[in-house]
Structure 1
């Protein structure tokens, strides 16, 4: 990615390319239960679950995952910054 674009579309395209879905995995139930025990509510939307699946599958590096997630959150907040 060389600039600001639709990060949601980029993540969706990557997921489609690698056959990644936003379906929950068994470890997600454990993570949800642990978060509730800590009085934390963590909710991922569809795009964030796709990104998590891409990371779990090894299709993106940690650096790419953080850059994409940051760009996605900024896009959701209406802040436009380049993605590298």
Structure 2
């Protein structure tokens, strides 16, 4: 169960990142920004719930949100790496 909240938090972060107008991973995402944000919030709640089951409430809350923040930090770098790699 502990890997589940990590996966859900990462997917929620991907949804939030794709809803951003500054991302370049999926160019068609701005048309679906509202649905992506809703999916991101639902994913956050699901990750906290899964973390609560795995670790207890406070530990699960902070672990799920830490996984979310880590993914939100890594996604712009992944996007930048992907864009600079395709320049050549």
TM-score (norm 1): 0.32
Of structures 1 and 2, the one scoring higher in RCO (CA 8 A, sep 6+) is 1
